[in-house]
Structure 1
Amino acid sequence: MLTFHQKIEILDSYPQLQRKDVSLGRVNYHYEESLHDKKTVAFHLHPNGNGYVYAGLLTGYKIDDKGFVNIRDFSEEELRSLLDASIASLSEPQVRAVPAGGKKTKRLAAETSWINGEGQKLTLKAEDDLWYLYSSLSLEMAFETPDEAKEYLAEEGFSQLQD
């Protein structure tokens, strides 16, 4: 198993990926030239060794419902192979198909409300080609795609309120 620092070194060796430090010491890597809504290639690499790489457009990998593969126990060769395939898949246009799992994805409205188990409410709004997350009137975060926003909200324990 690679350490957190070894995984970071491998990901840093890909000049087409941009590192984004996120909460709790975790790190994401984005592929800004992606031809798809998905730009996150590596998600929540954690100092404990856990982390995920996007494989939603690939076959032969055990993916979660968001299209990510857990890379906790990957060797350097396995990680590089997955990263190469992930970047290549995001570099090619794809015909719209039903996502993995056979469900059609529900598009987000221009403004949606979200709540967590503690009753905290957030509002996600589409403005100027970005998705902004607000707590009351305070801006909390901005996202490039609605999928990125939904991933973050789900990871943080929020679910969408039904209007």
Structure 2
Amino acid sequence: MLTFEEKLAIIESFPELQRHDVSLGRINFHFEESVMDKKIVVYRLHPNGNGFVYAEQINDNYPIDSKGMVNIRDFTEKELRKVIKQSIDSLSESELIEETWINSENQTLMLTNDYNAWNIYAGDDLDGTHATYKAAADYLHQEGFKRLE
């Protein structure tokens, strides 16, 4: 496990993040250029090594809490750098993302991001809207769909 000082050095190596000291020695890091209302990338980095990174909009399957945060207590340097970069990228994204999903019966659905919402279309018909990519992907998986690579 990385120490608090090692995690802090890694996080501070991202020049786009601004440090904000909070209570009990904890530190948040904000991405002020976020295209979303969400600006906190690193949340409550604690001197005991615990902390969180915003991962709700990331396409990987990080175990996130109800605030969209993944616990980074046991992350390696490589994992920590990756999740922070992905978090910043997810808050920077403004281009349209479209993914095709297919089920065992060869039915296809299109997943797109549109103004900070994730919409699922069956042809031209809107099938559903979700607040996050993870929620939309979870729904599609539950319905038996897999993303086309």
Range of TM-score over shorter length? 0.5 to 0.7
Cα distance, 1:62 vs. partner? 0.8
Cα distance, 1:79 vs. partner? 0.2
Stretches of structure 2 lacking an aligned partner (at least 5 in a row): 95-112, 119-129, 136-149
| Matching of residue 88 in structure 1 with residue 89 in structure 2 | yes
SS in 1 for 2:64: coil
Matching of residues 1-163 of structure 1 within 5 Å:
1-59=1-59, 60-93=61-94, 94-95=113-114, 96-97=117-118, 98-100=130-132
Equivalenced residue count is 103
SS in 2 for 1:2: coil
CA distance in 2, matches of 1:40, 1:83: 11
Stretches of structure 1 lacking an aligned partner (at least 5 in a row): 103-163
Deviations 1:39-84 (A, max 9, x none): 0000000001100000010132111111100000000000000011
Cα distance, 1:99 vs. partner? 2.6
CA distance in 2, matches of 1:28, 1:81: 18
TM-score (norm 1): 0.60
Of structures 1 and 2, the one with the larger relative CO (CA 8 A, separation 6+) is 2
List, as ranges, runs of 4+ consecutive aligned residues in structure 1 with deviation greater than 6 Å.
Answer: none
TM-score (norm 2): 0.65
Match of 2:109 in 1: none
Deviations 1:7-58 (A, max 9, x none): 1100111100000000000000000000011000000000011000000101
